[in-house]
Amino acid sequence: MGIDLYSVKMRASRKENGEERHISGAEKIVEQDRLQGICARLLERAIHHSKGEADFVNIKVERIKAGDVILRDALPVTVCEVETAEEGQRKLRDLLEQSGIHNGEEILQYMKGTWEMRGAMLLDVDTMQRLEPDRKRGVRATYMDMAGKGDDRSHKNHFQEALVLATKVASHKNIIGEICISDDPDYVTGYFASKEMGYVRITRLKELGCPDGGRIFLFRGEAGEADDCIRYLEHQKMLVRI
Ligand code: WAQ
Ligand code: MG
């Protein structure tokens, strides 16, 4: 081994009434020969997005050591077909219940507060404390990608990127689940993911055209364990075999 890899992070936003509004973001880990192509495609994605046009794009490239990257198999995937967003939401509550989380209703209310965030909420499901150091931004899981040659189309593969993220997030011992609804107005499939349940796609969690969405990482553990969890989410480098 010993080959160098590069982490590429993209985020795009727009100023509206003096406030920076998040439009899109992405994380990749690539070898040098794919670096230019990936940057071009992420830039393309950043400026042409269904959430609107960006006026600020940040693409950050960092060399990382291949030896620091851990390899994981993706969570097993299942699909739950539902007809309506309400049925999807009910399914989410059932999955939370089956995961030993009995205040699902209350937790789902928190999804309403996620839509402007660049990252995810990190919620202690027992105390209902939010654990993000910056609540407006949230915690971003970064430094991950799918293993292998990757998918070099410019358009976003929602499913693959989400499966990578969910696999990394669920692998931490204090994360007992994740809820995700895309904030892309034209993407209504979301998921629940955990070590026990795997990655459960729910085919409709919101109405088409709705710009709301977000993520909640569900934490269970001692208060003192939150820092380690955040450090893992933000810094542990991981490639996921899909
Ligand atoms: N870390 C933490 N939170 C994130 C991250 C990240 N790396 N990326 C996005 N988020 C949060 C942020 O608040 C976004 O607004 C929200 O999640 C939604 O992000 O199987 O496309 O990238 O087909 O719009 C699910 C795929 C797609 C389901 C989810 O999310 C399927 C999606 P988006
Ligand atoms: Mg989005």
pLDDT along the chain (242 residues), means of 10: 85 93 94 94 91 93 96 98 97 97 96 91 97 97 91 78 98 98 93 98 96 95 97 98 95
Consecutive H or E run containing 227: helix 226-235
How many C-beta neighbours within 10 Å does residue 102 have? Answer: 11
* Protein residue closest via CA to atom 14 of ligand 1: 214
For residue 3, the CA-to-ligand 1 centroid distance in Å is: 30
pLDDT at 48: 87
Q: Where are the beta strands (DSSP E) in the chain?
A: 4-16, 19-31, 56-65, 69-73, 77-80, 121-124, 144-146, 175-181, 190-194, 198-202, 214-219, 237-241
Pocket lining: 12 vs ligand 1, CB cutoff 6 Å: no
User: Bridge-partner residues for 193, per DSSP?
Assistant: 178, 199
* Protein residue closest via CA to atom 8 of ligand 1: 119
pLDDT at 149: 73
Pocket lining: 13 vs ligand 1, CB cutoff 6 Å: no
User: How is residue 14 written in tokens?
Assistant: 């727009």
Pocket lining: 174 vs ligand 1, CB cutoff 6 Å: no
Pocket lining: 201 vs ligand 1, CB cutoff 6 Å: yes
* Cβ–Cβ < 8 Å for 169, 233: yes
pLDDT at 116: 83
pLDDT at 221: 98
User: Bridge-partner residues for 216, per DSSP?
Assistant: 121, 179
Indicate the top mutation candidate among 49, 77, 151, 158 to test ligand 1's pocket, ranked by most ligand atoms within 8 A of CB. 158
pLDDT at 2: 55
Pocket lining: 104 vs ligand 1, CB cutoff 6 Å: no
pLDDT tens for 59-93 read 999 999 999 999 999 999 999 999 999 999 999 99
> Burial level of 184, CB count in 10 A (0-12/13-18/19+)?
middle
Residue 167 gets which letter from DSSP? H
Q: Which ligand is nearest to the CA of 212?
A: 1
pLDDT at 241: 97
Q: Which ligand is nearest to the CA of 52?
A: 2
pLDDT at 153: 64
3-state secondary structure at position 64: strand
* Cβ–Cβ < 8 Å for 8, 142: no
> Burial level of 109, CB count in 10 A (0-12/13-18/19+)?
exposed
Residues within 5 Å of ion ligand 2, judged at the Cβ atom? 183-184
